[in-house]
């Protein structure tokens, strides 16, 4: 395939991708969870076909980004719901496990977490800012989504403290957790969701990309990892009507 043809194929893929992203956003505006799942399942098949085309073209056009894959239905029966103060023990245990298992996923250390009293975390949970994915009674995934305490910034909510236990990775539980939290944030008036992610955290960058987030900025050397300074990448997703 010559370079001109490669560029034509990639341009067509980009056009279809933009259309599918619009459809995905419609899914976020649908309140019924079953209808959301049907929308994302249909678009998943189209995204998969696009991914295969992109993989054929990308070796000849390496700067191209692969299209993201939208919501995947969980392979097991995971329950997703807002967390409350009663989930404090499970939340802290999973968070502390994540700090050890995936340190690049967090900006804090186990020592930072140990210094944070239970009542601070319990208050956050009581405000309904955290969501969790459960495998039976076991919490296997979590995230926090909240807004800064300023009226002029209330339309933007921030995603952080995201972690999925290794046992639940690759099952679709992460996407189910993410889209439930995004739909709830939209219902509460959010128009934009933003997050920061360590540039070295390739798995997180790929996951957020599959969920529709796009890189919009960075702070060069914004995170210190050991003796190295690593870029902090800003990613955003519009959920505006």
| Within-domain flag for 144 | yes
Q: What is the mean pLDDT of the chain?
A: 82
> Which pLDDT value is given to residue 21?
61
pTM strictly above 0.95 = no
**The domain spanning residue 94 has which CATH number?**
3.40.630.30
| Within-domain flag for 68 | no
130: which strand partners?
A: 144
Same domain, 105 and 201: yes
Nearest CA to 71 among 44, 109, 108?
44
Same domain, 91 and 170: yes
- Residue 79 structure tokens: 């329950």
| Residues of the chain where predicted confidence (pLDDT) is lower than 70 | 1-75
Query: Of 60, 90, 107, which residue constitutes the final position of a domain?
Result: 60
Confirm if 147 and 154 have CB atoms less than 8 A apart.
yes
DSSP conformational letter for 76: S
> Which pLDDT value is given to residue 63?
40
DSSP conformational letter for 63: T
Q: Can you tell me the distance from the alpha carbon of 11 to that of 154, in angstroms, rounded to the nearest whole number?
A: 36
| Per-residue pLDDT tens digits for 26-54 | 655 555 656 665 665 566 556 556 555 65
- Residue 42 structure tokens: 């249909």
> Which pLDDT value is given to residue 118?
97
Phi first, then psi: what are they for 208, rounded to 5°? -65, -35
Neighbours of 88 (CB within 10 A): 17
Same domain, 52 and 91: no
For the chain, the domain total comes to: 2
Range of the domain at 117: 78-238
Q: Is 236 helix (H, G, I), strand (E, B) or coil?
A: strand
Q: Can you tell me the distance from the alpha carbon of 187 to that of 172, in angstroms, rounded to the nearest whole number?
A: 23
């Amino acid at each position: 395939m010559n370079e001109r043809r490669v560029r034509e194929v990639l341009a067509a893929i980009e056009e279809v991708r933009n259309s599918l992203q619009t459809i995905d956003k419609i899914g976020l505006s649908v309140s019924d969870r079953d209808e959301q799942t049907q929308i994302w399942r249909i678009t998943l098949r189209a995204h998969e076909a696009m991914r295969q085309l992109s993989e054929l073209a990308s070796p000849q056009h390496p700067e191209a980004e692969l299209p993201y894959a939208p919501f995947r239905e969980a392979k097991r029966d995971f329950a997703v719901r807002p967390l409350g103060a009663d989930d404090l023990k499970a939340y802290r245990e999973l968070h502390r496990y994540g700090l050890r298992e995936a340190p690049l996923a967090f900006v804090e250390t186990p020592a930072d977490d140990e210094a944070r009293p239970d009542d601070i975390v319990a208050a956050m949970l009581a405000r309904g800012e955290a969501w969790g994915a459960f495998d039976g009674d076991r919490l296997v995934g979590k995230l926090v989504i909240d807004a800064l305490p300023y009226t002029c910034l209330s339309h933007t909510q921030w995603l952080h403290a995201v972690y999925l236990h290794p046992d639940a990775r690759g099952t679709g539980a992460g996407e189910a957790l993410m889209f439930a939290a995004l739909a709830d944030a939209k219902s509460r008036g959010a128009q934009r969701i933003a997050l920061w992610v360590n540039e070295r955290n390739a798995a997180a960058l790929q996951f957020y990309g599959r969920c529709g987030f796009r890189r919009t900025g960075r702070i060069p050397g914004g995170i210190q990892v050991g003796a190295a300074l690593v870029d902090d990448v800003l990613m955003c997703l519009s959920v505006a009507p």
